[in-house]
């Protein structure tokens, strides 16, 4: 990183109280809505790490094939690292505002497909009345009103999401279809779709019951459970590897359905996995407790080697298939696996004295397309960065 970036990251490495996580699908749906509202409302808060953080845990996969209760793997000694001082990357990026086909002061881009061609977002007032928008090669399409809260878009432009009542849906080529909620469960939370048309999410039932589920774009009324009760599914790669949790332990399933626990870095008792692309996954682990609250630390998993690394950054809002990490702190940074960094620029037509607050939440597999929003003049505008 550059010296300026070092100073910026260092300034952000401070504690922030966050409630200790647990697997609770009711809360997950509520938290998801709150996160969307915070993005729309301009509160681009980041989860920060402890000021003294400088360790990276490297451990291997535990567990066995099939669906046993996961056992956290043994921990290895963590080497000491520091925030990178590698030079800035040579890519040149430019920011531009996406067209807004419908009115609303809160317009944000929330996801991008692996190729960078399709972008999905939301436009509304910020009061749960937003319309889902799909941008393809810069052209905007408003999805039917029955589709709410987009989760992800794949390379074919198929969009998946979850309505406020817990109904999952998929939008494909102008047609909106609803996903079956498995019998015995009240709702689903749909997270991701890959290029093969595999859709993953979590079914939610009474008494905090929950289970990881797999659907298909081609057969939305059919489903298959991935894990036993107590599991969640939050991401899927292009080859069909699924990530999530099993009894609060980070977990993955191979494309053939074999399950294994992911590493828990530095003795963490549990972790969440947010998303996966290529051979990488990102999530959060609880850090030190302070006065009844706990600091959440971003973590990255290498799905090939099994290594789990605590990240010396305030947040990790996205991971590219090539391993590029998206760090969002109000002026987002792309950090490559080798430590080189690229600070994303603001819009060139806006002077430095009028610059708004930028948020980046999605990155393409090659790290060349990033999406998010800018808050300026009391409005949110959907944004895309293109790098070359």
Q: What is the mean pLDDT of residues 365-376?
A: 96
353 burial (CB, 10 Å; 0-12 / 13-18 / 19+) is exposed
- Extents of the domains making up the chain: 3-387
Dist. CA 268–CA 275, nearest whole Å: 19
What pLDDT, on a 0 to 100 scale, did the predictor assign at position 78? 31
Closest-CA residue to 204 (of 265, 162, 170): 162
What pLDDT, on a 0 to 100 scale, did the predictor assign at position 86? 53
Closest-CA residue to 15 (of 300, 265, 296, 333): 296
The whole-chain average pLDDT of the chain stands at 80
Strand partners, 281: 276, 301
- Confidence band, pLDDT 50/70/90 cuts, at residue 7: very low
What burial letters (b/e) apply to 358-374, b meaning 16+ CB within 10 Å?
Answer: bbbbbbbbebbbbbbbb
Backbone dihedral angles phi then psi of residue 29, each to the nearest 5 degrees? -65, -45
In contact, 372 and 328? CB cutoff 8 Å: yes
Q: What is the mean pLDDT of residues 372-385?
A: 94
Dist. CA 132–CA 142, nearest whole Å: 6
Q: What residues contact residue 183 under an 8 Å CB cut-off, 6+ apart?
A: none
Dist. CA 267–CA 172, nearest whole Å: 43
In contact, 32 and 189? CB cutoff 8 Å: yes
344 vs 306, higher pLDDT? 344
Q: What residues contact residue 147 under an 8 Å CB cut-off, 6+ apart?
A: 132, 159, 161, 163, 169, 171, 176
What pLDDT, on a 0 to 100 scale, did the predictor assign at position 331? 79
What pLDDT, on a 0 to 100 scale, did the predictor assign at position 306? 76
* Kind of pairing between the strands at 259-261 and 249-253: antiparallel
What pLDDT, on a 0 to 100 scale, did the predictor assign at position 350? 63
pLDDT in tens, 94-143: 999 999 999 999 999 999 999 999 999 999 998 888 999 999 999 999 99
Q: What is the mean pLDDT of residues 359-388?
A: 95
Dist. CA 146–CA 144, nearest whole Å: 5
- Confidence band, pLDDT 50/70/90 cuts, at residue 89: low
Dist. CA 183–CA 167, nearest whole Å: 13
What pLDDT, on a 0 to 100 scale, did the predictor assign at position 76? 29
Q: What is the mean pLDDT of residues 279-289?
A: 91
Dist. CA 201–CA 193, nearest whole Å: 9
pLDDT in tens, 17-76: 333 333 333 334 334 433 333 333 332 222 222 222 222 233 322 332 333 333 333 322
Q: What is the mean pLDDT of residues 249-269?
A: 89
Structure tokens at 160: 């998946």
Q: Where are the alpha helices (DSSP H) in the chain?
A: 3-12, 25-41
Closest-CA residue to 382 (of 365, 367, 360, 363): 360
pLDDT in tens, 179-210: 999 999 999 999 999 999 999 999 999 999 99
Structure tokens at 116: 């960078």
Structure tokens at 277: 């692309």
Q: Could you say which DSSP state residue 267 is in? A: G
pTM metric for this prediction: 0.79
What pLDDT, on a 0 to 100 scale, did the predictor assign at position 351? 52
Is it the case that residue 338 has pLDDT exceeding 90?
no
> 3-class SS at 309?
strand
Q: Which residue has the tokens 């399409």?
A: 141
> 3-class SS at 136?
strand
First to last CA, the chain: 19
pLDDT in tens, 134-183: 999 999 999 999 999 999 999 999 999 999 999 999 999 999 999 999 99
CATH of domain 3-387: 2.130.10.10
């Amino acid at each position: 990183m550059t010296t300026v970036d070092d100073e910026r990251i260092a300034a952000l490495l401070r504690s922030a109280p966050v409630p200790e996580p647990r697997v609770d699908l009711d809360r997950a749906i509520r938290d998801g809505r709150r996160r969307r509202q915070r993005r729309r409302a301009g509160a681009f808060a980041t989860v920060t790490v402890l000021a003294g953080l400088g360790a990276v845990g490297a451990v291997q996969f535990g567990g066995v094939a099939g669906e046993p209760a996961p056992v956290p793997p043994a921990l290895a000694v963590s080497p000491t690292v520091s925030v990178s001082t590698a030079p800035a990357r040579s890519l040149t990026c430019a920011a531009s505002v996406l067209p807004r086909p419908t009115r609303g002061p809160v317009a944000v881009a929330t996801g991008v497909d692996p190729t960078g061609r399709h972008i999905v977002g939301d436009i509304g007032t910020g009061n749960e009345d937003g319309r889902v928008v799909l941008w393809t090669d810069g052209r905007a399409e408003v999805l039917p009103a029955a589709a709410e809260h987009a989760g992800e878009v794949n390379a074919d432009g198929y969009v998946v999401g979850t309505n406020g009542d817990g109904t999952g849906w998929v939008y494909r080529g102008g047609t909106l279809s609803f996903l079956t909620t498995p019998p015995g469960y009240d709702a689903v939370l749909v997270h991701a779709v890959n290029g093969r048309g595999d859709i993953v999410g979590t079914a939610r039932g009474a008494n905090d019951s929950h289970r990881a589920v797999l659907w298909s774009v081609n057969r939305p009324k059919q489903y298959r459970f991935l894990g036993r009760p107590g599991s969640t599914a939050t991401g899927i790669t292009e080859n069909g590897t699924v990530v999530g949790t099993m009894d609060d332990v980070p977990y993955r399933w191979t494309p053939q359905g074999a399950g294994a626990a992911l590493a828990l870095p530095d003795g963490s008792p549990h972790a969440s996995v947010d998303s996966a692309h290529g051979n990488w996954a990102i999530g959060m682990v609880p850090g030190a407790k302070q006065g009844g609250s706990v600091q959440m630390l971003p973590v990255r998993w290498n799905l090939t080697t099994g290594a789990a690394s605590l990240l010396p950054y305030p947040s990790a809002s996205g991971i590219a298939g090539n391993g590029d990490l998206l760090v969002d702190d109000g002026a987002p940074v792309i950090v490559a696996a080798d430590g080189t960094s690229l600070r994303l620029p603001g819009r060139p037509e806006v002077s430095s004295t009028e610059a708004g607050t930028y948020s980046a939440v999605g990155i393409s597999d090659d790290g060349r397309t990033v999406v998010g929003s800018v808050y300026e003049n009391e409005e949110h505008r959907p944004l895309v960065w293109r790098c070359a």
